[in-house]
Amino acid sequence: MAGLDFQFNVAKGAIRSYFETVDAGGDAALVVVPLEAASLQADSGLIDHETLADILAGSSNEQTTMGRQEITDVTVNIDHGNDRVELSFNGSITWTAADGAAVGKLIFCFDPNTGEGDDDDLIPLLAYSFDATPDELDIVVSPHANGLIRIS
């Protein structure tokens, strides 16, 4: 997976809390949303959106053919030796037989209530550049060995 582009302003200082709220019971989750490469808003504007609905109301388009992925198995590691917190997800994300428009970015959002939420409730946390052209083969995303993000 490509390196982190940025952490959304709305999530700064709170991202560890969001990760700690994610649970395997499905009440809260991370939702990974692929955005089409052709219509991406510049990072300087994208960073200021406070909900997924705000992102999609702008010039950026969701790559809906592949669909969203939900993550409920996360890791929060407090590294006292290096004075940081490492956040990640376990396993990998797979889009099976992926098709549709080219992808340019993955947005990791926090969904506080997977049973009721809509795009107005999804809080964007992290944005990663991710160049992929779906060709009906699987697209697999795994976190870096050092995690999804380190906060120090």
Q: What is the pLDDT of residue 45?
A: 95
**What mean pLDDT comes out for the span 106-113?**
95
Predicted confidence at residue 2, as pLDDT, reads 64
Whether the per-residue pLDDT at 8 is higher than 90: the answer is no
CA angle 19, 25, 27 (to 5 degrees): 65
- Tell whether pTM > 0.85: yes
d(CA 43, CA 65): 23
Which pLDDT tens digit goes with each residue over 33-48? 999 999 999 999 999 9
Strand order in the sheet with 29-36: 4-7, 123-132, 103-111, 29-36, 69-71
| pLDDT tens figures, 56-106 | 999 999 999 999 999 999 998 888 888 888 899 999 999 999 999 999 999
